[in-house]
Amino acid sequence: MRSLNLDQLQALLRVVENGSFSAAARKLNLTQPAVSLQIRELERRFDVRLVERIGRRAHATTPGRTLVDAAHRIFQECSLAEAAMRRYREGWIGRVNIGTTNTMLMYELPPILRALSLNHPGIELHVTNMPTRESVEGVLQNRIDIALVTLPVPERQLRIVPLRQEALVAIFPVAMKGVPDEITPDYVARQALLMEHTGGAVHALVTRWLSAKVPLPRAPMHLGTVEALKSAVASNLGMSIVPEMAVAGNVPDIVVRPLRPPLSTTLALIEHRNKPSEPALVIVRNALLGLRKTNDSPRPGKKRSRRQAK
C-alpha cells in the first residue's frame, strides 16, 4: 500500500476544522479546487466518504472523524521528530537523567548544574531528588543514568566512586541553655529529637550512632527534609542532627555543635557497570566528579558565625 500523503491529511484537518473547503484553501494558501482534489484522492484511497455537507458547512463522516483523530496523532509524532532533528542540528549532545539526595540538590548541585547549562547547552538534564535506595534501583533499571548517593550501597552491578565525607553535626535552637561544646549519644537521648524521614541515609546513620541508647525515652519526631528540620529547630521544637553542609553559612536562630564520637556520611557517584559512556554522560560525570576536589577546601560560608560558635 502506498504511503499516506501528509498534504492530503492536512487538507482534511483544515476542512473539518473550518467547516469549509474555501476557508481551508485560504489557510493552506491553495485554491479551492486543489483542496477538493486532495479530499477526493483520500476518499478514493480508502474507498469511503470522509466529508459531507450539512447545510453550508462541511462535516467529517464517521470514517472521516476516525481519520482526523489518526491525523492529529501522526502530525504530533512528526512535530516530535522535527524537534529531535532540530536539536541535533543545533548542537544537541544528549540527555542525562541524574538522581540525587535532596541535601546535595539544595546545597551543592546548583553551581554545577548552572555551569553545565552555560557551557554545554546541548545537554538535556533531568534531575530528580530521591532517597539513595531509590537512586540505586533507578540506576539498576536504567531509569537513572548516574546518581549521587550516600554510602553504603550494594556494589553488585554498580560502578561506585566515593567522592568525599561529610560530617554530621547537631543543631539546637539559639535560645536553648547549657548546650555542651560536643554532643554525645547520651546527651541526645535526653533531648526532644527531630529526625529526617525513616527512608533517608542520615536517619539510618543516626539510629546506629544512638544504638546504645535505644529505645529512646522520647520517640523522635520525623520530618521530610533538612530544611524542615532546620525550621523546626529554629522554632524551638527540639534538636536535630544534619549534614554540616546544610548549616555551613550563617543560619539564624540555630546553634551548631560537633558530635562525639564523630559521625559522617560518604557521598558517592554511582552508575551501572554496563552503562555505555555516551558524550553527554561523560561530560556530566566529569562535572560531578568535581565534587571530590572540594573535599579539603572550604566551601563558601564554611566559617561559622559568632552565633553558631557560642
**Residue 155 pLDDT:** 80
Nearest by Cα to 42 from 50, 32, 33:
50
How do the domains of the chain map onto residue ranges? Answer: 6-89, 94-163+266-294, 165-264
Pairing of strands 123-129, 94-100: parallel
What pLDDT does residue 11 have?
Answer: 95
Q: Are strands 239-243 and 264-272 parallel, antiparallel or unpaired?
A: unpaired
Report the chain's terminal Cα–Cα distance, integer Å: 82
Answer whether residue 307 shows pLDDT above 80.
no
The pLDDT score that the predictor gives to residue 100 is 96
pLDDT digits (tens, 9 = 90+) for 232-286: 999 999 999 999 999 987 778 999 999 999 999 999 999 999 999 899 999 999 9
Domain 94-163+266-294, CATH number (from 3.40.190.10, 3.30.360.10, 3.40.640.10, 3.90.800.10) = 3.40.190.10
Report the pLDDT value the prediction gives residue 302, as an integer from 0 to 100: 39
CATH hierarchy code of domain 6-89? 1.10.10.10
pLDDT-derived band at 294 (thresholds 50, 70, 90) equals low
- pLDDT band for position 225 (50/70/90)? confident
Long-range contacts of 233-236 (CB under 8 A, 24+ apart): 233/171, 233/172, 233/173, 233/194, 234/173, 234/174, 235/173, 236/173, 236/175, 236/176
**Residues whose CB is less than 8 angstroms from the CB of residue 97 and which lie 6 or more positions away in sequence, other chains included:** 126, 128, 138, 143, 144, 145, 146
Indicate the average pLDDT of the chain: 89
Task: Return d(Cα 93, Cα 116) in angstroms, integer.
Answer: 12
In this prediction, residues 185-210 reach a mean pLDDT of 90
Q: What pLDDT is recorded for position 267? A: 94
**Residue 289 near residue 163 (C-beta atoms within 8 A):** yes
The fourth-level CATH superfamily of domain 165-264 is Periplasmic binding protein-like II (3.40.190.10)
- Using CA atoms, how far apart are residues 166 and 79, in angstroms rounded to an integer? 47
Over residues 25-45, the pLDDT tens digits come to 999 999 999 999 999 999 999
pLDDT above 80 (res 104): yes
What is the tens place of the pLDDT at every residue in 45-77?
999 999 998 988 999 999 999 999 999 999 999
201-219: average pLDDT: 89
Domains 94-163+266-294 and 165-264 share a fold: yes
